[in-house]
Structure 1
Amino acid sequence: MLQAYRARIFHFLDDPSVLGKSAWQYFEDGVLLIEDGRIREVGAAKELMPQLNIPVQHFPDRLIVPGFVDTHIHYPQMEMIAAYGDQLLSWLQNHTFPTEAKFADEEYAAGVASSFMDELLRNGTTTALVFGTVHPVSVDVLFREAQRRGARMIAGKVLMDRHAPAELLDTPQQGYVDSRKLIEKWHGVDRLQYAVTPRFAPTSTDAQLQRAGDLLQEYPGVYLHTHLAENADEVEWVKQLFPAAQNYLDVYDQAGLLGRRSVFAHGVHLCDQECMRLKQTDSVIAHCPTSNLFLGSGLFNLEKVQQHQVRVGLGTDVGAGTSFSLFRTMGEAYKIQQLRNCKLDPFYALYLATLGGAKALDLDRHIGNFSRGKEADFIVLGAQATPLLDFRLRHLLDRLKLAEQQEVALRDLFFVLQTLADDRVVEATYLMGKCAYRRGGV
């Protein structure tokens, strides 16, 4: 089945911080051709329209971009987003653990999972790396909801055998057995993949981390998803709990948890040695700006991580993160770099939310841009969705039609969206060429 969509179209071919203008393509009047859920071609309407003898869905004055990629989020924490008054360690005790205890109830977990998937799609997020809870059923219901919609999701059951309430603890062996069953049930089914998920070093013993490493050895295609160096007190706690480790990252390294599909959320307090080791093992940092600001965790040193050539993605980190919107996330990432006397280029920010996120999750063979054969996940943006955006962009959009002003106008457009936009600009979200969300009803 062939489908055609006409609009302004933008996507990245590679990293704009490396390749500059040659890293992206923009069509002021473009056509996106999709065949059986995959990209067949993207190009200028004047070249492709004469070849078509099928109906074309036209989105006048709209912008089509690839679906957003969220590299770190907790779906069980959706209920406790905007929980007041704590930093990381007390926030876990006072808000997170009581909320996650509810996920022993399958019906309750299924209701949250459904709302969570709805919220992702409403914000244009088509792929995410997701924390469950310690309960295997929390992962089952999330995968069922993602499968029903056709979304690409990576998720895992939390491993936690100490420093948490008794009802949220497993054991090294039980966590291993539960994870193995979930891997064999879900990993590689449709668009679903599994992540071995120790919460963070303080809530796992050496024995549990070693069993997590065993799972990575036994199932080499799965992911590792955990937290790293988010909070200064947390870093000090890890030093006390693991005195034989050279640093925080080394705790995971000793258990064999680093690698191309290992994603470490935050990395706010990394030393040079840790950055070097992340690069050597091709591991990934998920930068979560709204969460880092909300919990007062610190200012992520993106420049340092870039200098060490560590792969980076963006994460909303709901519920410490304060929005499902990758636009809001990009905007807060910009502010963090401003506080560090650095500038976050709007092209690079959007790259991190699309193709860069796909690369961070080792999925750029499948998603992230409109290259031929990739899965057709995309979003339709109405840039003038609010009165303020309409006022701000009234003259800017006209400049996109002028070739000599196009690059500057695009940079301005993306920066305005990253600063002022949210879910209201997302008019439709498509998964494998099928509309999964439309503002006002599918």
Structure 2
Amino acid sequence: MNDKPPFFPDELQSFLETLPEPRILVDPDYRILSANAAYRRAFGNPRAILGHTCYEISHHYDKPCDECGESCPRQTAMKTRQPGRVLHLHHTPRGQEYVDVELIPIHDARGKLVYFVETMRFLHETGDQPGALGMVGRSPALLQMLALLNRAAPAMTPVLLLGESGTGKELAAQAVHALSPRRNRPFVPVDCSGLSENLFEAELFGYEKGAFTGAARRKTGLAEVASGGTLFLDELGDIPLHLQVKLLRLLESGTFRRVGGVETLRADFRLVAATHRNLEEMMEAGTFRRDLYYRIAAFPIHLPALRERREDLPLLAEALLARLAPERPLCLSVAAMARLMQHGFPGNVRELRNILERALLLSDGDTLDLAHLPEAVAFVRQAPAAQNLPDQEILSLDEAERRYVRRALRQLGGDKRELARRLGVSERTLYRKLG
């Protein structure tokens, strides 16, 4: 099968055919010229994409993705004449998937840009099903975080996840594990909050039979259970100062002994740690060891709060409702979604899930409305200075909905199809709501 244009060099076509990842050839005007064998295996007959633009196929946009608020590796590649790489959410035959996109510029003998070779590495190809990483969204903040997780995953470098409660730190740790070469080995989470000294050592290192009263048999520690895999220390900042030295010794030496044991065992795990605390402030206060911090903080990653990626709310709500009630075709009314978009979400995604779980229990139909949201969310208390507004300032729900929809449409660059999808309504309904 030959899908190359007549002016495409045979040597380059032959080279692309041998590469294991799906790759396409793109001209300087974003037009797709050719696709290799790996692409054909992943997507079938590529003739449907030849001649179309890459942004049309991958994003369903009518203009380049960097003009629609997306980062584009093309800009980096053109400026530096080096490969550019970003993480995108692409439309694929399997639905929307996270894709690590690398763009390599190719110049002719005179230095003129003639082609881009685009390589696609799908995050689901870690052996999990699409979406199994558990993260949903397309905001710049989320994609930047996912890109960092994807970069860190193949290495053994310790990863430190920083973020508020409810931002999904354990999901992020599982993503690092799933994207790593250790994905088929154990992922072992350890909740560090509230562990006493004896319990900390017993849980992490294990103990021998008879090591203390009640030790009726040998217990394997979690550092040993995680052998070959990933050890996830959640809420690391809650470990008392006198226990931190024991953890540091484990990380520095790579060895440990069970409580009551004399045999030295070798640790073989990849460390991922997480905390909602500010470790730098704790170091200044003397409640967190500097040497431990520098041992675990080689690759810190900030997990954005929900208010930092508010545009992901429609996608998140859709995904959560599908998980909470897979048998019901649930959606949020435009008014309910507009109110959620204004909410602060101090509890982040965990709070959103609780709100939706309550709403679906209160709703007898398939549409969750304002009346189904908690009172503290559905109704905003006005500040005293704003209580005596003139009548003309009070909008009807229809007008408030219309203004919200128009504002959302402007944020999406006029893409009515995408807005209808995010709002969970048909395009015909959207046009009616736009008035």
TM over 0.5: no
Normalised to the residue count of structure 1, the TM-score between the two structures is 0.30
The higher radius of gyration belongs to: 2
Higher relative contact order (CA closer than 8 Å, sequence separation 6+):
1
Q: Which has the higher strand share?
A: 1
TM-score (norm 2): 0.30
